Amino acid sequence: MSDCVFCKIAAGEIPANKVYEDDTVLAFRDLDPQAPVHVLLIPKAHIASVAEITPENSGVVAHIFEVAAQIAKELGLENGFRIVNNCGEDGMQSVQHLHFHLLGGKKMGWPPFPAQS
Ligand code: AMP
C-alpha cells in the first residue's frame, strides 16, 4: 500500500526505532508511548485490520504473538504486560495496517475505557 505509513516503515522508507525484525514481522517503539514500554508489532505484508484476518493470512498473527512473548522477556516485562488491538472506527484504529500494541512497565487499569450509559 503506497500511502500506508506502516508499509513505509516495513520497507525502510520511514525511520523507526526497531526492536525486532525478521522476514515477516517488524516491531518498533510507538512514537507516542502510553506506558514505559510501548512497542508496535506489525506484519510486513499489508493487512488492514483484525477484520481482514483470514485462514490464508493468519499464520503471521501467530508469529507476531511468538515475537511479542520474546520481546516482552527481552524488555524485562516479567511481571506482565498488555497486548492491545484497535480495530475499525469504533475501536479507534488510527493506522489502517494491522498492529498490536505491546504495553508494559507499569500496573495497568481495567476496564481500559470510561464507563458509558
Ligand atoms: P492505533 O490507534 O491503534 O491505530 O495505533 C496507531 C499507533 O501508531 C499510535 O499509538 C501512534 O502513536 C503510532 N504511530 C503512528 N505513526 C507512527 C510512526 N511513524 N512510528 C511509530 N509509531 C507510530
Rounded to two decimals, the pTM is: 0.96
DSSP line for 35-98: SSEEEEEEESS----GGG--TTTTHHHHHHHHHHHHHHHHTT-TT-EEEE---TTTTT--SSS-
Mean pLDDT over residues 48-77, rounded? 98
d(CA 103, CA 56): 28
Q: Which residue is listed with cell 508469529?
A: 63
Between the CA of 39 and the centroid of ligand 1 the distance, in Å, is 10
Of residues 117 and 73, the one with the higher pLDDT is: 73
d(CA 60, CA 89): 23
Q: Cα dihedral sign for 89, 23, 60, 76? A: negative
Kindly tell me if the per-residue pLDDT of 117 is higher than 60. no
| Residue 15 Cβ < 6 Å to ligand 1 | no
Tell me the per-residue pLDDT of 77-90, one tens digit each, with 9 for 90 and over.
Answer: 999 999 999 999 99
Phi-psi group of 44: left, alpha or beta (phi > 0 → left; psi -120 to 50 → alpha; rest → beta) = alpha
* Catalytic site includes residue 97: no
pLDDT of residue 83: 98
- Take atom 20 of ligand 1 and give the residue whose Cα is closest: 31
